[in-house]
Amino acid sequence: MGSAEKKIVLITGANSGIGYEAVKALLESNKAQYHVYLCSRDLEKGKKALEQIRAEVPSVTSTVELLQLDVTDDDSIKKAYEHVQSTQGRLDALINNAGAHYDFAWVDGKVSLRDCFNKAYDINVTGAHIVTYTFIPLLLKSSDPRLLFVAGLSMLTQAAEQFFPTPSLPAGWPKRVDFETIGYRCSKTALSILMLDWNHKLKADGVKVWSVFPGMLLTNLGGGDSKLLEMVKKMGAGPASEGGAILKSVVEGERDADAGKIVSKDGGIIAW
Ligand SMILES: NC(=O)c1ccc[n+]([C@@H]2O[C@H](COP(=O)([O-])OP(=O)(O)OC[C@H]3O[C@@H](n4cnc5c(N)ncnc54)[C@H](OP(=O)(O)O)[C@@H]3O)[C@@H](O)[C@H]2O)c1
């Protein structure tokens, strides 16, 4: 099968965690062939990830290519767009996966409270929006365009019913929250309205849009903070490969009936 018949997929933040596993899952697929852009903000980290992928998935006809893309850097986004435009000329699936949270860094005094919120918002919301806005012309060249956002567990109805993951706190100030995530969760809640907005704007263009909640998984989110990893392990976090699998299933059409929604594994839909 020639390159023209391959599905072209771009995944931001794919040097690590769920994005990395999504690249692997697509390369290993027996349903379709892909050319996957493994995007990394840091080329050295990207090269290591590419080497690891080539060792783990040695002989497939799908292909993978490293692309520098920092979602907080407009010039980097534009260059990545120009590269895909000149090499493939279209995009079949854009996966806005890059994400970060700084709440533990704030608790540890490593960033200010303002930076904790603004950095998360810049990467998780503004970055995803500008990447999407930039790549739309290439998605519109696809005969089956797909736009994915990676959701966090931040949905309002759920939070109102049970204020996960924070138990009741005793009166007094300051409050000590062992599992602080509010900056991250505010940004991921904003990402939900972003998904709905793109779904609305692109309906007539036939672009299918989803937010995909991968589950709570063991990754480098939060900068690989060991305290955070220990806590999410205790909360039952699964392997990052579960996130790769659900992203692949959405790309491959298994959740087409749920376009415009926040989907989770095993056919689940997360309510607002
Ligand atoms: N893990 C979970 O339990 C969970 C649950 C729900 C949703 N998610 C979401 O899943 C997505 C992937 O996260 P993960 O859990 O796999 O964590 P991860 O292993 O830390 O992966 C995050 C990726 O995003 C990249 N990134 C950070 N800032 C970036 C920037 N400015 N530009 C481009 N890339 C950037 C990271 O690059 P560096 O390696 O250079 O930092 C890394 O490749 C995120 O959107 C996260 O919010 C995760």
**Domain contains 51:** yes
Strand boundaries in the chain, DSSP class E: 7-11, 34-40, 63-68, 93-96, 146-150, 208-212, 217-218, 238-239, 262-263
**Domain contains 134:** yes
Are the CB atoms for 55 and 67 separated by under 8 Å?
no
Atom index in ligand 1 nearest the CA of residue 122 equals 31
Q: Rounded to whole angstroms, how far apart are CA atoms 10 and 261?
A: 21
Q: pLDDT at position 174, please? A: 93
- For ligand 1, atom 23: residue with the closest CA: 13
Q: Which two tokens stand for residue 111?
A: 């960033």
Atom index in ligand 1 nearest the CA of residue 21 equals 16
Q: Rounded to whole angstroms, how far apart are CA atoms 38 and 66?
A: 5
Name the domain count of the chain. 1
Q: Rounded to whole angstroms, how far apart are CA atoms 177 and 182?
A: 10
Give the residues surrounding ligand 1 with Cβ less than 6 Å away: 12-13, 15-19, 41-42, 45, 69-72, 97-100, 123, 127, 150, 152, 214, 216-217, 219-221, 237, 240
SS (H, E, C) 180-211: CCHHHHHHHHHHHHHHHHHHHHCHHHCCEEEE
**Domain contains 106:** yes
Q: Rounded to whole angstroms, how far apart are CA atoms 266 and 242?
A: 11
Q: Which two tokens stand for residue 155?
A: 């949905």
Alpha helices in 111-218 (DSSP H): 113-121, 128-139, 156-161, 182-201
Domain of 120 in residue numbering reads as 3-263
**Domain contains 151:** yes
**Domain contains 270:** no
**Domain contains 233:** yes
Q: Rounded to whole angstroms, how far apart are CA atoms 218 and 17?
A: 8
**Domain contains 46:** yes
pLDDT per residue of the chain (272 residues) written in tens, 0 to 9: 444 489 999 999 999 999 999 999 999 999 999 999 999 999 999 999 999 999 999 888 999 999 999 999 999 999 999 999 999 999 999 999 999 999 999 999 999 999 999 999 999 999 999 999 999 999 999 999 999 999 987 666 666 666 666 678 899 999 988 889 999 999 999 999 999 999 999 999 999 999 999 999 999 998 888 888 888 898 899 999 999 999 999 999 999 999 999 999 877 777 65
**Domain contains 123:** yes
Mutate to test the pocket of ligand 1, among 10, 11, 12, 18 (most ligand atoms within 8 A of CB): 18
Q: pLDDT at position 151, please? A: 93
Q: Which of 105, 102, 98, 103 has the alpha carbon at shortest distance from 123?
A: 98
Q: pLDDT at position 1, please? A: 43
Check which CATH number belongs to the domain holding 85 and give it. 3.40.50.720
